[in-house]
Structure 1
Amino acid sequence: MRSARLALLLLSALLTGCTSPGPTGQAAAAPADVTAALDPVSSPQWATDMARFAAQDADQPPPAHPVVFTGSSSVRMWATLAADFPRQPVLNRGFGGSQLRDAIWYADQVAVRYQPRRIVLYAGDNDIDAGRTPEQVRDDFRAFVARIRRDLPEVPIAYLSIKPSPARIDQLPAQQRANSLVKVEAAQMEDVDFIDVATPMLDAEGRPRAELFGDDNLHMNARGYELWRGIVAPYLR
């Protein structure tokens, strides 16, 4: 564990300064060594989401030290989040379509600024769909943890595994490899959990359970989120 922590601290040093927000809500430029290791944001549209989060905070201050859920649309569309975890002050900061590296660039806006008690991340689904490799997902996960640890060294982090879906059934092997790589990585880190939401979403033949998804066969319906609630709840106690 000591060697893993040392490696994490070294990576954290490389990431220093990479997510300071600019005056327009854009992710600020990072030092050259960081940009060499971390790809740019996947889309400029995330600046709009960051402005929306800031407006929501101004209109209704978020709870103190919340459990922050962030990542892509599977978090953004979790409309019952507060009701599903009534004993926890939860805050939804998902931005649909985002990739794992976007959560790194915008870590200040979606997590750090709230001084959370815990961070739950769902990302990697869109990364694989965009052609990124499982190894890139693993590396970006490692960088996300290092970025959070820079400012929040004691805050637990949980990573929700990439979910299988009927719409992306052809990507299932790559998703499963990414999940395996991240699981191994997380096991070497302190206060980092890998939460397997993917395996219970498969049927006896190893295919995504269609009854958990909406009409687009990509995003979950109420039954899907009910399944996730039961899996995630023990990690929030």
Structure 2
Amino acid sequence: MKNTFLAIFFIAFSISNYAQETSTTFNDQEFLAYLENLSENKEAASETKKEFRQKSWAYWSANKIDYNQSPEKYKKALSLYHLNQEKFNNDRVIALDRFKKAIENFKSFDSRNTLPKNPVLFVGSSSIVHWETAKAFPEFPVINRGFGGASIPEIIYYYDDVIKKHTPAILVIYSDIDVEAGKSPSVAVAAYDELLTKVKKDFPETEVLLLAMKPTLIDDFLGKEVAKNKIRTNELLSEYCATEEHMKFVDVSTPMLKPDDAVRSDIFLEDGLHMNPLGYTLWNPILKKEIGELMKTK
């Protein structure tokens, strides 16, 4: 089985590498001129694509904080960037088993250790992977099975290994990969529905907490509609949970915003995508409260 991802998405995970490969970063006028020249060139040679990725991400990486503070300043550059991004984007097909090594590591660990029964199981993408859940929630029987940058289809692919075998009492799910990869909100929610249908069938009494997709400093650089689509997907997931038993949508995104709705810059690592420890201090009390209330009913 395979899944299609937009190539530009993978660039986000290599910003530092691209910046290192690019000896200089454009100033604002140079970047505009570069983008205008590209937009007039109808050809999309592989070397030109590579250069576009490198130079663009070097520029946006250097200006991501200022962009989030003053987006109007970058309106023209962002419009031209998205125009060229669409031209240079190719679908990138990857195997759903690309995280096979991580799953094998889980199996090896599980075979050598005694795990809690009926745990609070955390599953999802890198926001789960980097979350020190055992330290954050020492009072709960936590198992963390976040892997890679797992999309919901990939979690479904490894469902037996990362969810079913653990018989969770509480299941915490986070993944924003599908939307960041260019999928529409309806497609993203359909994938969630497929996963949750399996969970409901196997564990009808399991409590499920769906975490809102977080805003990041680079959403607008991942794709033209990413920021808007995250908001819409969160709305749809909230509506979905409202119609289901044993399921709750948890808003972890709002605390990541300033009073003017701009994304806080102090809660991310250098890449502007992954949270630093301060970011998790915003999430921890929210989940501690939600899990604590559910545990009282168990």
Please classify the TM superposition score into its range, dividing by the shorter chain length: 0.7 to 0.9
1:62 pairs with 2:115 = yes
Q: Which whole-Å CA distance do the structure 2 matches of 1:42 and 1:167 have between them?
A: 26
Report the CA distance between 1:87 and its aligned residue: 1.1
**2:186 paired residue number:** 135
* Alignment of structure 1 residues 140-151 onto 2, 5 Å: 140-151=191-202
- Find out whether 1:99 has 2:151 as its counterpart: yes
SS in 1 for 2:266: helix
Structure 1 stretches of 4+ moved >4 Å: none
Counterpart in 2 of 1:174?
A: 229
Structure 1 residue 94: Cα displacement:
0.2
**Once structures 1 and 2 are overlaid, which stretch shifts more, 40-49 or 139-148?**
40-49
Cα distance, 1:84 vs structure 2: 1.0
The unaligned stretches of length 5 or more in structure 1 are 1-39
Calculate the TM-score normalised by the size of structure 1.
Answer: 0.79
Query: Structure 1 or 2: larger helix share?
Result: 2
> Within the alignment, does 1:88 sit opposite 2:153 as a pair?
no
- Amino acid paired to 1:216: D
> In the alignment, is residue 226 of structure 1 matched against residue 278 of structure 2?
no
- Structure number with bigger Rg: 2
Q: Aligned letter for 2:97?
A: P
What SS is found at the alignment partner of 1:166?
coil
Matched, 1:159 2:210: yes
Asked whether the equivalents of residues 102 and 148 of structure 2 are also in contact (C-alpha less than 8 Å), the reply is no
Q: 1:195 aligns with which of 241, 250, 255?
A: 250
Which residue of structure 1 lines up, in the alignment, with residue 76 of structure 2?
Answer: none
TM-score normalised by structure 2 residue count: 0.63
Q: AA paired with 2:111?
A: A
> Identity of paired residues, percent?
33
Distance 1:41 1:103, change over 3 A: farther
Distance 2:192 2:262 in 1: 25
Unaligned runs of 5+ residues in structure 2 are 1-92, 293-298
CA offset digits 1:83-109 (Å, max 9, x no partner): 211110101100121101222222211
RMSD over equivalenced CA pairs, Å: 1.5
User: Secondary structure of the residue that 2:148 maps to in structure 1?
Assistant: coil
* Offset at residue 42 of structure 1 (A): 5.8
CA contact (8 A) 1:41 1:102 kept: no
User: Would the aligned equivalents of 2:99 and 2:148 in 1 still touch at CA under 8 Å?
Assistant: no
User: How many residues were matched structurally?
Assistant: 196
Q: Is the 8 A contact 1:67 1:116 kept in 2?
A: yes
Residue 212 (1) aligns with residue 264 (2): no
